[in-house]
Amino acid sequence: MYPAFDGGQLRLLKEDDIKAVHEASVQLLGEVGVKVKSKAAREVFRSNGAEVDTATEIVKIPRDLLEKAISDAPSRVILYGREEKNDLHLEKARTYLGTGGTVLYALDLETGQKRRTNTQDLRDIGKMVDALENVSFYVINTYPQNVPDEAADINRFYWAITSTSKHVMGGMYTMKGLKDAIRLAEEIAGGPEKLRERPFVSFITLMVSPLVMDGLYTEFIMEIARKGLPLAIPSEPLAGATAPVTLAGTIALNNAESLAGITLAQLVNPGTPVLYGSTSSIMDLKKGYYVAGAIESAMINAALAQMAQYYQLPMYGTGGMSDSKINDSQAGYESALTAMTVALSGCNYIHDAVGLLEMCQVFSYEKMVIDDEIIGNIFRVMRGIEVNPDTLAVDRLKEIGPAGNFLVDIHTTRHFRKEFFFPKVADRRTRIDWQAAGSPDTAKRAHQMVREILAGHKPTPVDAALRARLRRQFPEIQGEES
């Protein structure tokens, strides 16, 4: 199991608030209903007792159906790695953070300029995920623009899985792409059964706010549920635009939408490992577009983590993004504040937490390293303060006494590595030493670390013969094997 810490220290909702949100969501699903654009899905709802209006495509989900689905969904979902040490056990308030997207652009490592993403990015980012210790999973976060659109899915999953042995999760663009990705994963696992035993890939579907289940994405939910593979069902209401401007209203709506998706998945295949989810944020009301680094996004996700814990469902959430265009202080503080808020609420699987700039549109390698360090700081807070006679150290003070020091003491050497977080990006040198090193700013220091990882890190490979076979089977995969 990958090392993880418990959140849950931050509680934005009171007990009564949680019940009120639940009741509001029950009311939304039972009285307003959801517009379900997939006929097959409407049939599933109808045959299980939901009220379906064929003309309007509105499905009203009654309380008992909803609550049964919540109890059928597992409280603990394991997202496996290609290697067991990378398994993620999602339950209660245990918190993991990692990548997310999906973006079309990256800041080029050579020039620093914004450029289109390609299959090499899929591989390089996978390697970075593999190397960075606070990044627990690889949500495929770039769209390769050097391959035809119909080859995007297979390239994304192939290069992600072969570049890291950590868990890989991704969204899909076509049904063929989803089926290919599953077939690919089955081949690597050694067959469909083996994949179901240890699914090292999982999938992201989505709900459309307010209260819509899209045709294609809803069919993705059903296909993945039938295969018994893990899936995240987030929704992305934007407060003030596709959701009420009040955070409570957005939270109730997001809750209802994600639960509607979970209900469908459980009706198709009870016990399907699903992640309740949110990618919610706000609309910037000065300019009229989505923003990613808003603190309210983190508050919505934090509150929804409490809802997920109330339902005992693992949660896929969002935190750690910035709307800045470069790695400046806005990039740092927005990412740190949002990631910390969501992590301390105990959201289990926080994606988008590393590498994203500019309203979730641009990936930065340097930011990925900086965010890894932000997460390290957050984990230190989550680990908390250990209080016992040894850590209170009264006996050490008895021995060392007034005016002594603790620099030369076994108590210090025994504890300092776990008591202190040791940053790698942050500069704590004196000005003299810093100037002697060429006065590098944060981005420049991070850049150096990216170079070292890309040049030196070697993820556990997928067997070469197997890769050769997959390349024959899926000729649309592009790029030389390394």
Q: Which residues bind other proteins (CB under 8 A)?
A: 405, 407-410, 412-413, 416, 430-433
The span from the first CA to the last CA of the chain, in angstroms, equals: 28
C-alpha distances out from residue 431 to 327, 424, 435, Å: 21, 17, 6
**Residue 322 DSSP SS3:** coil
Q: Can you say whether the dihedral through the CA atoms of 46, 50, 55, 56 is positive or negative? A: negative
User: What is the closest distance, in whole angstroms, from the C-beta atom of residue 29 to other proteins in the complex?
Assistant: 56
Shortest reach from residue 415's CB to other proteins, in Å: 9
Give least dist CB 200 to other proteins, A. Answer: 34
Name which of 377 and 412 has its Cβ closer to other proteins: 412
Q: How many CA atoms lie within 13 A of 365 on its CB side?
A: 31
Shortest gap between Cβ of 433 and other proteins (angstroms)?
7
At which residue do the structure tokens 């999973």 appear?
137
Question: CA 250, 255, 258: angle at the middle one, nearest 5?
Answer: 120
Q: How far apart are CA 276 and CA 261, in angstroms?
A: 9
Q: Which is nearer to other proteins, 388 or 430 (CB)?
A: 430
Nearer to other proteins, 289 or 422 (CB): 422
Cβ 373 to other proteins shortest distance, Å: 15
CB of 391 to other proteins, least distance (A): 16
For other proteins, which is the closer residue by CB, 330 or 412? 412
Report the distance separating Cα 421 and Cα 424, nearest Å.
10
> What is the C-alpha separation between 86 and 199, in angstroms, rounded?
12
- Vertex 73 angle, CA 91 and 36, to 5°: 125
| Residue 285 or 436 with smaller CB distance to other proteins | 436
Nearer to other proteins, 286 or 431 (CB): 431
Q: How far is the CB of 388 from other proteins (least distance, A)?
A: 21
Q: Which is nearer to other proteins, 413 or 460 (CB)?
A: 413
| Enclosing H/E stretch for 202 | strand 201-204
Cβ-based neighbour number of residue 464 at 10 Å: 9
